[in-house]
Amino acid sequence: MARELATVDPQERFLEFFKKGKYRQKISQIGITGRESITVDFEELFGFDQRLAERLLEKPDDFLQHAGNAAYAQLGIEDAEYASKLEKLTVRIVNLLGKEQLRKLGSKQMGKLVMVEGIVVRATPVRPMVMNAAFRCKRCGTINQVEQSGQFLKAPPVCASPDCGRDGPFEFVQDESTFIDSQDLRLQEKPEDLPPGQLPRTLNVKLVGTEIVDLARPGDHVSIVGVVRAFAPSRPGIGKLRTFILHLDANSLEVLGKEPETRPPSPEEEEKILALSKDPEVHKKIMNSIAPSIYGYEHIKEAIMYLLFGGVSKSLPDITIRGEMNALLIGDPGTAKSQLLQYVAKIAPRGLYTSGRGTTAAGLTAAVIREKGGSMSLEAGALVLADKGVACIDEMDKMRPEDRVAIHEAMEQHTVSVAKGGIVATLNARTAMLAAANPALGRYEPHRTVAENISLPVTILSRFDLIFVLRDVPDREADAKMSEHILEIHRRGESPVEAQIDAELMRKYISYSKTIKPRLSKAALKHLGEFYLAMRSASETEGSPVAITARQLESLVRISEARARVALRKEVSGEDAEAAIVIMKRSLEEVGIDLSSYKVDIDLIMTGRPKSVRDKLQVILSVLMEMEKETGMVEKTALVSELELKHKIPRAETERMLWQLLREGTIYEHREGYLKKT
């Protein structure tokens, strides 16, 4: 190109670009699709004219305008009829050569065109925004058209009518104004872009135009190209602040896939993966590589292995059945639950660690949030953000009351539905869940059932495929081994047991395994079917309520499939089914669901005819929690009366037990005479 670039009209140059091959064809077909914009691959523009592309990044406002004018001019040539219907054609740029780290955005990028990737955590509904506002002068009736920009609706300074020219008052005329669809999103850094130990940053994004609003929902991963803007928040009566807040004016938005982000394995890695899968000891090796620094808990590590690999989801025409597993660890304080969860969040592709309360207002599921300006927006919670990954939820018993309701749907249907404040949406939460909780009375009481030991309802408990109990009971031999193990860690500063498979390979191996969808063999079907029927008939003869439901059968299938997946096998063998049965039995036994106990617990709490002091403690606690739900905190005298009237517990006894609960810290005195559960 011999011409001096600076003298070339950029619009001319864009026109040359649009007259060539692919884009010319795109423009000629735009009328058929009815679109009002054309998407340009930045890399192709860069290949066509590097200088032009660079100036587009530097001065996006001017150059997007030039590009749009050129594209519109070309449309006039290709399809004059459609061009006359449109007022303009918008050029949307995708695929910038490099993406900008969300946390690095600053004053340097202001006014520049950048590309960022992230997770949509919050979205407002689509709202009309005024582009051209019509104002009627109340003095002379003239309609003044005012082109709008910025945040606030601008009225004309003075009436445009030469006979009037007065400064209003004006009234806004909706019918004569033009609107365009707009939406605000909040983008959050992806976990994989996060420096270790840092909290994710967020960026507000403004979308304008029918073609880019409503493309992304909370929980979606997106790539957005846009212009970095800054505006100064103003304080009423004081003026604008000197520090500005950044946001992005989006030019284009693409929803990215949700497959685990790790690169596909290299040929050498693939070789390693396949070799490992053929190892007859593969299950042991992987189990032993899960949190090797945590001593013992082989069965729990086995369960975690199944959870990491997962079963196969089935989409039938009428229903879908989840493949991802849910597991719950209930345990005494200091039994390494949090450590296990943190480890899993680190190793799992798309792992996320959160506490039951959640780290944001959206908690575990989702919430409709009222923003400062009064508008509503939908925010995704942890299970939605971990879609297609593993959510590790610590302290699950402490989740928000709203989540207690919504989590039922999330755990089985793998969706979160919201209908509130004018927002109606269903978000995906195809998440495997590893949860931990403390026992309701602080420590696990072995002669009680899970329902009593944990303040989660049976409806939630039954949605876990596997539940395990971690108890901290003094045991000379085990204590000696464990202390040796822990002290060794502290002495060496590293784990005495080395992982046989390093974390990097493990993550790759898990991602790789997900492409395999094992099917049940005849032998597996036979094992699972027989076990299920035996359990069912056992509960029949005892005349007890159903302990084993279809849920457990589906869990067994998932576990068997996961076990086949660990060995990258396409078929679920009889051996897989047997292993699934063993671990399922162990889980059922551990939590004391021995075919007849499901109902007993509930009856006990409901009817309030406690047999022992321990049972009475339980009743007192559950009544307290019920009352607390209604009133926030519980008046002691009201509680005592309630227990006397409805549960026949004498006053003196209640007083004594409340004192005990206060002392051990299960409840506390919020104000003089008012109690609250800790």
Ligand X SMILES: Nc1ncnc2c1ncn2[C@@H]1O[C@H](COP(=O)(O)OP(=O)(O)OP(=O)(O)O)[C@@H](O)[C@H]1O
CB 538 within 8 A of CB 595: yes
Q: Burial level of 606, CB count in 10 A (0-12/13-18/19+)?
A: exposed
Q: Among residues 15, 53, 253, 336, which is the contact residue for ligand X, using CB under 6 A?
A: 336
Give the per-residue contact string, 475-494, with ligand X (x = CB under 6 A; - = no).
-------x---x--------
486 binds, among Mg ion, ligand X, Zn ion, none (CB under 5 to 8 A by kind): ligand X
In this complex, which beta carbon is closest to Zn ion, that of residue 140 or of residue 232?
Answer: 140
Residue nearest to Mg ion (CB): 338
Q: Does 164 bind Zn ion (CB under 5 A)?
A: yes
Q: Does 274 bind Zn ion (CB under 5 A)?
A: no
| Cα 182 to Cα 93: distance, rounded to the nearest angstrom | 19
CB 411 within 8 A of CB 304: no
In this complex, which beta carbon is closest to Zn ion, that of residue 140 or of residue 546?
Answer: 140
- Tell me how far, at minimum, the Cβ of 489 lies from ligand X, in Å: 7
Characterize the bridge pairing of strands 314-315 and 320-321: antiparallel
**Residues within window 314-333 making contact with ligand X, judged by CB under 6 A:** 331, 333
- Tell me how far, at minimum, the Cβ of 149 lies from Zn ion, in Å: 23
140 binds, among Mg ion, Zn ion, ligand X, none (CB under 5 to 8 A by kind): Zn ion
Q: Among residues 438, 521, 622, 666, which is the contact residue for ligand X, using CB under 6 A?
A: 438
CB 70 within 8 A of CB 11: yes
| Cα 238 to Cα 253: distance, rounded to the nearest angstrom | 37
Q: Nearest 5°: CA angle at 273, between 580 and 559?
A: 15
333 binds, among Zn ion, Mg ion, ligand X, none (CB under 5 to 8 A by kind): ligand X
Q: Among residues 19, 139, 485, 636, which is the contact residue for Zn ion, using CB under 5 A?
A: 139
- Tell me how far, at minimum, the Cβ of 373 lies from ligand X, in Å: 39
- Tell me how far, at minimum, the Cβ of 545 lies from ligand X, in Å: 31
Give the per-residue contact string, 397-436, with ligand X (x = CB under 6 A; - = no).
----------------------------------------
CB 528 within 8 A of CB 581: yes
Query: In one letter, which amino acid is 3?
Result: R
| Cα 220 to Cα 427: distance, rounded to the nearest angstrom | 9
Radius of gyration of the chain (CA): 31
Number of residues that bind ligand X (CB under 6 A): 14
| Cα 296 to Cα 13: distance, rounded to the nearest angstrom | 69
In this complex, which beta carbon is closest to ligand X, that of residue 338 or of residue 426?
Answer: 338
Query: In one letter, which amino acid is 475?
Result: D
Stretch that binds Zn ion, among 52-60, 151-159, 361-369, 606-614 (CB under 5 A): 151-159
Instruction: Give the DSSP H/E element, type plus range, for residue 507.
Output: helix 503-513
Beta strands across the sheet bearing 390-394: 351-355, 390-394, 432-437, 326-331, 466-470
Q: Does 69 bind Mg ion (CB under 5 A)?
A: no
Q: Nearest 5°: CA angle at 462, between 460 and 466?
A: 110
- Tell me how far, at minimum, the Cβ of 619 lies from ligand X, in Å: 24
CB 436 within 8 A of CB 329: yes
331 binds, among Mg ion, ligand X, Zn ion, none (CB under 5 to 8 A by kind): ligand X
CB 365 within 8 A of CB 345: no
In this complex, which beta carbon is closest to ligand X, that of residue 254 or of residue 590?
Answer: 590
Q: Residue 169, preceding bond cis, omega within 30 degrees?
A: yes
In this complex, which beta carbon is closest to Mg ion, that of residue 336 or of residue 427?
Answer: 336
Q: Among residues 29, 338, 342, 462, which is the contact residue for Mg ion, using CB under 5 A?
A: 338
In this complex, which beta carbon is closest to Zn ion, that of residue 58 or of residue 176?
Answer: 176
- Tell me how far, at minimum, the Cβ of 613 lies from ligand X, in Å: 25
174 binds, among Mg ion, Zn ion, ligand X, none (CB under 5 to 8 A by kind): none
| Cα 335 to Cα 329: distance, rounded to the nearest angstrom | 10
Q: Does 140 bind Zn ion (CB under 5 A)?
A: yes
In this complex, which beta carbon is closest to ligand X, that of residue 438 or of residue 597?
Answer: 438
159 binds, among Zn ion, Mg ion, ligand X, none (CB under 5 to 8 A by kind): Zn ion
CB 399 within 8 A of CB 355: no
What are the distances in angstroms from CA 673 to CA 241, 424, 467? 47, 43, 38
- Tell me how far, at minimum, the Cβ of 436 lies from ligand X, in Å: 6
In this complex, which beta carbon is closest to Mg ion, that of residue 333 or of residue 446?
Answer: 333
Q: Does 509 bind ligand X (CB under 6 A)?
A: no
549 binds, among ligand X, Zn ion, Mg ion, none (CB under 5 to 8 A by kind): none
- Tell me how far, at minimum, the Cβ of 293 lies from Mg ion, in Å: 16
Rounded to the nearest 10 degrees, the angle between the axes of helix 60-78 and helix 50-58 is 120
| Cα 132 to Cα 342: distance, rounded to the nearest angstrom | 53
339 binds, among Mg ion, ligand X, Zn ion, none (CB under 5 to 8 A by kind): ligand X
The C-alpha torsion from 568 through 570 and 572 to 574, rounded to 10°, is -90
- Tell me how far, at minimum, the Cβ of 409 lies from Mg ion, in Å: 27
First-to-last alpha carbon distance for the chain, in angstroms, is: 75
* Count of C-beta atoms within a 10 Å radius of residue 615: 16
- How far from chain centre, in Å, is Cα 665? 33
Stretch that binds Mg ion, among 19-27, 95-103, 332-340, 368-376 (CB under 5 A): 332-340
Applying CB under 5 A, the residues found at the interface with Mg ion are 338
Applying CB under 6 A, the residues found at the interface with ligand X are 294-296, 331, 333-339, 438, 482, 486
